[in-house]
Structure 1
């Protein structure tokens, strides 16, 4: 189930947002796991939940809202953030957090705008083919495939390395995760699958794959031929 979060300290506003959200979920027959942050959030607390949150609604009626958005973006750059406020405000200071939406909640148009945003974001998260989903004991993770540089396995766990530099550690093996990856992902080793978008060179002699940014990964003899052929196919498709 997709996990969302609402950052709102005003109980009256929380009740209103809850009413609007539940009305939408019932009407559209959707499910959503909602986390409610009812006090000014600390980094220590948010660290426990940030990776689980696929999108967030954050109030800007208090200065703490902007700080919460900055903190959430730093901990989980893939999270979609929608800001809201009672009155209009300058949006430029929010741009570093790459907001997905902004709306005013002052009247019935606020309900309409919120429900439009919920519809768009949930459609993106649940229906898009370019999203990697993983549901574990700690919740569901949703990561755009284009943000994944490579996956690395140590038999019991898989580490997902993203373009933002963040890593996500999953209790799994590589094979069960492969069907969720698109055709641009290439296995180069029994323990590595790489996103070809980030591959710069293959060095057969050194048994290395060099990624953009200079990072190198091992490529085994067993997988070199197939990986090279697949990368050539992808290059031809893009020409």
Structure 2
């Protein structure tokens, strides 16, 4: 269950953001709880275990930056996204390791893009898929999957420790992994962006040196997806 706190001293802004977030999460069939606050003091006093904070910066009493600093003292891993009309605070956002910094007026397209890029941060280390055959069922942890290969009707899941083979559709695996950092780079391959080291016009090279084909028709989309993946790991401004 994803737990989100939205803090903005303007009720109309809170409602607008809540509606956008709900719509985006329901589109992905993600279960969530949203808690709303009109100031930083109330948020901090609630002492709820939150996964993701949306913070306005200009608020009465305790502003968003100061609120974020106090949150960071309690939790260094939680995701913080600033939503504000003030460009000049972007460098302070870096100081509190904000995941992103979205400028008002809110764009639903931009909000959705940033939210979706943050979602993989919340998946537990023990998330898994199941490889089923007639005789057995194998549990495969998502974090261990480097890439997936399709050969005729057979799937080969290449993990950090083994290759698991079974009969399945690549499209079904793609659906199972849609909320993680995976990209279908070829009609026969899905790659985990977490393991990508580099790429050219023909191959994606993984961190262990293995190479995966990238289709010329997928190259542009893959390049965009990988660059956005890298950006989501590094810069909070957008």
Tell me: higher relative CO, structure 1 or 2? Use CA pairs within 8 A at least 6 residues apart. 2
What TM-score, normalized to structure 2?
0.48
